[in-house]
Structure 1
Amino acid sequence: MSRFVLQKSVRVTGVSRGGHISRVSSDRFWISYYNNLILTNTAGDKLHHLTDISSIWGHHGYKCVYSSPSNGDLLVGMYNTDTNIEAKVVRYNSTGEHIQTIQYNNNTGQRLYRSPSYITENSNGDVIVSDWSRGVVVTDGRGKHRFSYRRPPSGSELFPSGICTDALSHILVCDYNTHTVQILDQNGKFLSQIQTLEHGIDESCCLSYDNYTHLLWVGSENNSTVNIYRVIYEDSLTETLLMEIRGKCISYASYKKKLTKLKEEKLVEEIKHLEETIRTTADNVETLEEKNKELEDIRRQKMRGVLIRSRARWVEEGEKPSHYFCNLENRNFTSKIIPKVETENGNIIYKQAEILNEAKKYYEN
């Protein structure tokens, strides 16, 4: 069972209510409503403000987008704004190439979506859509319909809005009708809920979850309040500790990588400058050699990391045969056999069993 402990409530300057929310770091997040997009911190200060974002996106029927951290794909929920039908989810790869469209139920042939409003992706590859008319619609990575969640235990019709997933692949979705955040497992089974009304949020509408800090950010439809909850997995203490350690390690590794990159860039600039000055004077030769050695050490360490990761990937995934490798094996197999043999009476034989028998006779005699 997961327990949600309210850590902080933030009043955001510049918006009257929330629409979409996206966490940037542990103390900064973007929040939008209509044509305003604001970057703010946990003190509620407005750090950056984009106005009239409709002039950027236009009115093309795009309702929601999600960038997959696992492969860089972009998932876009859309529908025809003229007819309010033909709703679908479209997947683009990291280069912008259209690679998938999810639109119909593979079992019934009926349309999966009508008004996709929020979209996310689970760690198992499931595409999860919050649809005002169809509830929570979940398909697998190939677009096959897995399940839909439309009615919470209260018995009321689900009116979903913001949606996200947590570190254990639970699905979290805001419900306008019950003034709660519903928590489901990855197969659609109801687990628990957050009574956001008790914490000053009348109608929760947008969510963002941080896999590293295990903080859940909840925005309101009726005011500028954003609540920040810490998620505690009571039945999975070991998993929680491991996730905490993993988050700290990733955070520290990212910090070290950034420092190393800055140091490498600085060394490249210094070496370039020293090489130019040496053309006129030989005073800085020793310094140049030291800088080159330092740069070489950094790049050797980077290469060592690449080799370690490649070996780890080989251990986990195994060696995958390529098309060239398979063709080479076929050619080698062909060269290992005797394709035909002429017998003593002048007959040509091709069957391997007959060839082996003839060879046996030859060496026996």
Structure 2
Amino acid sequence: MDTTSPFDNFSLENTDLTNIFKGWPPRNSLFQEQLFSRVLVKKLSIKGIETCDHMSLVSENRVWVTEGNNTILTDLATGDVFHRLTDVCVPMELCAKAVHSVNRDGDLFYIDRDLNINKLSKDLGTISTFVRKTSSVWLPRSLYCSVRSGDLFVGLAIITRELHSNGFTYVHKYEGKVNRYDESGQLTQTLHRNFDESYLFSCPVDISENSNGDVVVSDFGKSVVVVTDRWGSHRFTYGGLYYDIYSNEDYTDFDKYFYTFTRYQQGLDLWPWGICTDPMSNILVCDVHNDSVHMLDKDGQLLLHLLTDQSPGISTPRNLIYDFKTQLLWVGSFDGTVSLYEYNQQRLTYPDEIEPMEVIDTKRE
């Protein structure tokens, strides 16, 4: 009997793991399909916008949308543009993403060209500086107005460039933090380091506050989702999919050993971008690598790919908003379209206990 392990002479040193799991089937695919229903309510194109870099919801039909240096408030029902801002920072020039957000009162907060945080009143009549830039090192990359607490979260990062040993290439190194401000503009909390003094974040490009008080951050620099509790302690980091290949006869014993050896490695698949949470405290994040939307539970366990590039209405998802009033998920795509989805979580059961799913009426007035 041969007792040699495939890993006797194997080392991960200098091994590129980036695509090692690409194409492997996701875990519990039957389970996830049975537990959730997803209904495309409608899909819309935004007039005057070719790419949806970021969006912030004002009402059921009105939404702020940014494309490069063009930020407009548009009515999705008529296509009319109600307002246009010319001083919003350009996301990609700043290595930023979530450059504006709407608070519970309907006011718009945004990062301006001078990297201050401005507030535009709901009536569109008054612009004021809410948080003034005070550092030439820490630059804002994202912001989020919490529906839960009313606080403003601002993601900041330092980007340093070091000359590579080849003499030509610059190496970008990131260090990030998240500041919390109350509704008066007072800084009340900074999320920066963990208990072991390691950096919590690298480059926070989108932020949400969960219904349980957790702060949920899409960190594109680390290619992970980082979640802290309300006091700033690290809860978990989610870095991509784990795959179950043991039941697949197409994979060799070496594949299975390799999977076992690397299953807890983070960041193999996920390139996180837009992020939000829903009333069940689930976390939804856009994966720009696979053009999909991952759904995690509040403790960081992957539930399923809620949406993939095969889902109706989906092409290149980049932005997410959950509307707590209409209970619809807004998905903005890189092609300038916005899709609205209704989804329903069934009670958790094992696959052989699944009951017939409720039929959801997709017709709306």
TM-score (norm 2): 0.60
Q: How does 1:186-335 map to 2 (within 5 A)?
A: 186-198=298-310, 199-221=312-334, 223-235=335-347
- 2:206 is matched with 118
Q: Is 1:4 aligned to residue 116 of structure 2?
A: no
Q: Is 1:93 aligned to residue 182 of structure 2?
A: yes
Post-superposition shift, 1:42?
2.9
Post-superposition shift, 1:144?
0.1
- 1:180 is matched with 292
- Comparing 50-59 and 141-150, the one that deviates more: 50-59
Q: Which structure exhibits the higher relative contact order, with contacts defined as CA atoms closer than 8 Å and separated by 6 or more residues?
A: 2
Post-superposition shift, 1:201?
3.4
Pairing partner for 1:131 from 219, 227, 231: 219
Pairing partner for 1:71 from 139, 142, 149: 149
Alpha-carbon distance in 2 for matches of 1:196, 1:220: 12
Structure having the higher Rg: 1
Q: How does 1:5-154 map to 2 (within 5 A)?
A: 5-43=39-77, 45-47=79-81, 48-54=83-89, 56-59=112-115, 61-81=139-159, 85-106=174-195, 108-134=196-222, 135-153=224-242
Partner of 2:289, secondary structure, is coil
Alpha-carbon distance in 2 for matches of 1:121, 1:234: 24
Post-superposition shift, 1:86?
3.2
Structure 1 unaligned regions, length at least 5: 237-365
Q: Is the 8 A contact 1:38 1:46 kept in 2?
A: no
Q: How many residues align?
A: 234
Post-superposition shift, 1:200?
4.7
* % identical aligned pairs: 40
Q: Is 1:159 aligned to residue 271 of structure 2?
A: yes
Structure 2 unaligned regions, length at least 5: 1-34, 90-110, 116-132, 134-138, 162-172, 244-262, 349-365
Partner of 2:270, secondary structure, is coil
- 2:23 is matched with none
Alpha-carbon distance in 2 for matches of 1:196, 1:85: 30
TM-score (norm 1): 0.60
Q: Is the 8 A contact 2:159 2:175 kept in 1?
A: no
- 1:305 is matched with none
Q: Is the 8 A contact 1:14 1:46 kept in 2?
A: no
Post-superposition shift, 1:81?
4.6
- Comparing 9-18 and 24-33, the one that deviates more: 24-33
Q: Deviations over 1:291-347 (max 9, x none)?
A: xxxxxxxxxxxxxxxxxxxxxxxxxxxxxxxxxxxxxxxxxxxxxxxxxxxxxxxxx
